[in-house]
Copies of this chain bind each other. A is one copy, B any other.
Amino acid sequence: MSDPVISLSEVHAIATTILTGHGVSAEQARAVADTVTNAERDECKSHGLFRIPGYLKSVLSGKVDGQAIPEVNDLAPAVVHVDAKRGYAPLALEVGAVHLAEKARTQGIAALAITDCHHFAALWPETERLAEQGFVAFAFTGSNSFVAPAGGKQKLYGTNPMSFAWPRAGRSPVVFDQASSASARGEIQLHLRDGHTLPDGWAIDADGNPTNDPSAALAGAQLPFGGYKGAAIALMVELLAGALIGDVFSFEVSERDNGDGGPPTGGEFMIAIDPSRTRKDGGVATMAHAELLFERILGQDGTRLPSDRRFAARTRTAADGVSVAQVLYDDLQTLLAKAQA
C-alpha cells in the first residue's frame, strides 16, 4: 500500500487547522503552515508535516504562546529587533523581514535580531525570501547543546546552522543552508533506527572517544564539520544568535528546555545587503557578474548550485503533490479530529 499523496494546499490546511484548533492564533498558525508547506514543496520532509506534532506539543506544554504578537523595536537606523514574545519563529521572521528589507534598501546593509522565538525549521525560507526581493541575505541560529568545541570532548554548541542567499535576476536565488556540525541530529537518529553505523568524523562518545555507534553518539557529542574550521563557524553562530542579540546560547537552551519535544527557545540573527548599493555600478552589473561565476561552476561536470535540488522538487510537487508517510498521515488525522472536535 503506497503512502497518501496530498496537494500543497491540503498540506497548508492540515497544518493550519490542527494548530488553530488547539488554541494557536490564525496568524501564528498561518505563518507556521507557510513554513511547513514550503518545506513539503521543496521535499525537505524533515521540516514539513513531520514537525506538526512537535509544534503542537510546545503550545500544549505552555512553552510556546500560540497567541503571541511579535513586537518590533527599532534599535538603530540599520538594526531592527523583533521580540517574538514566546511565539513560533515564522510569524516573527515574516514581520521582521519587512523591516529588514526596508532598512537594507535605505541604509545599504541592515541587521535583524529576533529573540524569544521557537524555531523548528530550516533557515533557507528566511534568506530566500529576502533574496527573492533582491537582497543578499544571511541567517544564523543556535539550537540545543549537541556539538563539541574544537579540541573538546563534551557537547556545548548547537548544530548551529547558517544560511546565505544570493539573488538572481529572473531566476530562483542561490541559497545554502547548512549545519556547522558534520551531520544533522536527525541523521544520527535515522542511523540508530535503521541499525546502521555512523561514518567517521560525525561524533564522539561520552568519554570523548570517536564512535560509529549512533547510541553512543547521541549520549556523547556531535563533531563540527571540517574540524577546527567548522568549529569556528559554530562559535561564530553561537555568538551572533546568542550574546549579540541578547538571547540564549545553545547550552542555555538545553539547560532550560522543558523536554516537550517541540522547538527549542532561542533567537536568530539576520543580515541583508542591497547589492545595488555596494559597488559604484551596482544593480544590473552585479547580477550579471555573479552569473559568470555560476556558469563556471556549472561548466564543470558533477557540479550543481546549492539549492538546485530544492528548486527541482518544487516543480514536481506543484504538479504532483507530496506523499505523506502513512504513520504520520494517521497521526495528523487524529490531531485534525481533535482540533475539529
Chain A contact residues, CB within 8 Å of chain B: 73, 75-79, 81, 106-111, 113, 115, 136, 148-154, 156, 164, 166, 174, 176, 178, 180, 182, 225-230, 232-233, 235-236, 238-240, 242-246, 249, 251, 269, 271, 273-275, 277-282, 285-287, 289-290, 292-293, 296-297, 300-304, 306
Contact = CB atoms under 8 A, between A and B. Distances in A.
Contacts of A232: 164, 176, 178, 306
A81 B280 CA distance: 8
Contacts of A233: 233
8 residue pairs, one from A and one from B, having the closest CB atoms: A226-B226, A76-B108, A246-B279, A79-B108, A152-B300, A78-B107, A243-B290, A151-B302
A280 B151 CA distance: 34
B154 A300 contact: yes
- The residue among A154, A233, A274 with the most chain B CB atoms within 10 A of its own CB is A233
A278 B182 CA distance: 30
Contact of A156 (B225, B246, B271, B297): B297
5 contacts: A75-B277, A156-B296, A156-B300, A243-B275, A243-B293
Contact of A76 (B107, B228, B296): B107
Contacts of A244: 136, 273, 275, 278-279, 286
A14 to B, nearest CB: 33
Nearest to A80: B108
A290 B239 contact: yes
Copies assembled: 2
A22 to B, nearest CB: 31
Contact of A243 (B176, B178, B289, B303): B289
Contacts of A73: 280
A138 to B, nearest CB: 9
Contacts of A136: 239-240, 244
A266 to B, nearest CB: 14
Contacts of A227: 225-226
Contact of A292 (B113, B230, B249): B249
A152 B279 contact: no
- The residue among A76, A225, A269 with the most chain B CB atoms within 10 A of its own CB is A76
Contacts of A230: 225-226, 229-230
